[in-house]
Chains A and B, each alone.
Chain A
Amino acid sequence: MKSSTDKTSLSAMSLWRRYPALKGYALASPAILLMIVALVSPFLLLAGTSFKIETGSSDEWMLSLANYEFFFEKSHYVNTLVRSIFISTLVALVTVLLAYPAAYFIAFHVHENKMLWLIMITLPFWTSYLLRVFSWKLILGYNGFINSGLMWLDLIKQPLDFILYNTNAVILTLAHAWAAFAILPIYVSLQKIDKSLIEAAHDLGENKIYSFLRVTLPLSMPGVVAALLLVFIPTVGDYVTPKLVGGPKGLMIGNLIQSAFGRLDNWPLGAAISIISMITVTFAVCLFLLGINRVRKVLI
């Protein structure tokens, strides 16, 4: 029980104990190191690569903005980027709109077995992303479930060809694939709301619709915003969904990046497109957050 530590180790130890936060940083350091080695440094390399162009001989590189110029000269590239942002925005909105009532139901109307409902609703999203997207191709395809089913039932004579290989198919598939990322944050923010606040709104004479609009919805906004971002950001970079169900009209920026690293074998161009996409996404997110703030100020 007696402290028998000698003087030197005592000073090191008391430093350790005097500033316990040091231990915290030490504990977090492996994860921080990972983020630096596997996230920050690769991004710096990615940015660096985007300024490279090949000169005649194979191992010679030089720095230039040529990849960026190339991107903005090609209307096909720019259009694809704009379309990707547009598609992801729609996907985020559709996903959140579809998820909100379900999250609301579980948060406020399920009293027993909430856990069961939550597991049920999020379970499918732990299964293979690839297979989930692929199954939509089977559903929407020319000979797919919907067409063959409708024809089998004699409701249509010809397969409907407008349901696959277009933007709608991409939006539908993505809205399905990312549903869990919308439900969970919305559910959490709804669950946190003190039920007596809603009762207070009723007590103060607001009907159900207005107390929803004036109390529940604003209080759940952090969850809604998180959900929108969690769906919007990753979907901009998706390349599997557009490839499987998008067809030529449903191509997204991810497909351009992927082909730059694959078929075209032009890594610097791919890196440049990635950087442009990331800057665009960041810009869009900032605009969105600013807009939300503005709206919040006006409302309050």
Chain B
Amino acid sequence: MPESSFISIQGVSKHFGSIVAVDSVDLEIGKGEFFALLGPSGCGKTTLLRMLAGFEIPSQGEINIDGEQMSTVPPYQRPVNMVFQNYAIFPHLNVFQNIAFGLRKDRLPADELEKRVSDVLSLIKMEGFGERKPDELSGGQRQRVALARALIKKPKVLLLDEPLGALDKNLREQMQLELRQLQKIVGVTFVFVTHDQEEALTMSDRIAVMSAGKVLEVGSPEDLYEHPQTRFVADFLGTMNVFDGHIHARDGDSYIVDTRELGRISARIESQDFSKGEKMSVALRPENLQIVNSQSMTVMDGSISGVMSNTAYFGNSAQIYVELEGSDQPLVVSIQNLEGAASKAAHGNREVTIGWSKSSVLLLKDA
């Protein structure tokens, strides 16, 4: 939780006819945070962002920014600016005119305007591009112009709608870093929408994971990745092996859980409370699983045997799919590809034993 709430979203819902796009969302975002709204397409994250910008009005609930009620304030009176998904660069204006667009009302003298624009141009490392026409810009340059155009307004909050979605993979990784640095320099609160979990994990201070109009969990990237509370979040962030189960018993610092696929396993008790017999899910990250062989030194808290069916290489690592008896769902095991470990391990249709430690078993509430 941020120490002071800068943006406060309270019980906000948005209906389009009979469709509920955003369903009673509560969120507090702190000043200077880099905050991500993450979720699959259609989860309502963009609608929520557009309500912050003022393009949609909440059907219910309130939005406050820096202590001011915002819900019905039109976009042009909000201390908030937005970078659109397609960047929305005005095709009839050059780069300078695009960036200076929002300063008309300030009636700055020409030299002052010139200076302000050239300052942001150097901030986005595009000195000397002022006279360029939008169709002469690359995707990355368009994105920077859109950023500059919004930042020159000195907004209290910068909203970014899928800011990297239109860029190719290499450029995207570079821009992730640049955006992060830029945010540190200008110190503005950034709220950005993305469907890319990797992007959200790399860039943000905190993430709100959304599904079907609701915010399921809010937390730092590490929190959400290491200790997801719900099955949806566990599944959505990274690869995860998830199995249905129910609580058999509580035993000291562990729960004993029965699953059809893994049998009876034990897991360390974290913050969550389960009652005996409660239906829930058990999750294991592929990177927390190991292939156990006779020479293995580590002592495993749990293990299961299966038949290796498939291997997917990712260069520096590989994922091995292990078929478990009585299950359609293979167990995914990730191994580091050290000295060709992946290809050594991948001798098809071999029977293997997979092991894990108790602390890596995640217990998830069924939402």
Contacts and interface: CB of A to CB of B under 8 A. Distances in A.
Whether A and B touch (Cβ < 8 Å) is answered with yes
Interface of A: 1-3, 10, 13-14, 17-18
B79 interface: yes
B77 A1 contact: yes
B79 A10 contact: no
Contacts of A1: 77-79
B198 interface: no
A2 B73 CA distance: 9
B68 A13 contact: no
B122 interface: no
A1 B66 CA distance: 13
Most buried by B among A1, A2, A14, A17: A1
B248 to A, nearest CB: 53
Contacts of B68: 2-3
18 contacts: A1-B77, A1-B78, A1-B79, A2-B68, A2-B77, A3-B68, A3-B73, A3-B77, A10-B72, A13-B72, A13-B74, A14-B57, A14-B72, A17-B57, A17-B72, A17-B74, A18-B57, A18-B72
Give the secondary structure class of A's interface: helix
Contacts of A10: 72
A17 B76 CA distance: 13
Interface of B: 57, 68, 72-74, 77-79
Given A13-B74, A14-B57, A18-B57, 15 more contacts: A1-B77, A1-B78, A1-B79, A2-B68, A2-B77, A3-B68, A3-B73, A3-B77, A10-B72, A13-B72, A14-B72, A17-B57, A17-B72, A17-B74, A18-B72
A18 B56 CA distance: 8
Give the secondary structure class of B's interface: loop
A13 B77 CA distance: 13
Contacts of B77: 1-3
Nearest to A17: B57
Q: Which 7 A-B pairs have the closest CB atoms?
A: A14-B72, A3-B73, A3-B77, A1-B79, A18-B57, A17-B57, A1-B77
A14 to B, nearest CB: 4
A10 B78 CA distance: 15
A209 B232 CA distance: 53
Nearest to B59: A18
Nearest to B76: A1
Most buried by A among B68, B73, B77, B78: B73
A18 B14 CA distance: 11
A3 B65 CA distance: 12
A19 to B, nearest CB: 10
Contacts of B78: 1
Contacts of A2: 68, 77
Contacts of B73: 3
Contacts of A13: 72, 74
A18 B55 CA distance: 10
Nearest to B58: A18
A206 B68 CA distance: 67
Contacts of A3: 68, 73, 77
B107 to A, nearest CB: 15
A13 B75 CA distance: 13
A108 to B, nearest CB: 28
Most buried by B among A2, A3, A14, A18: A3
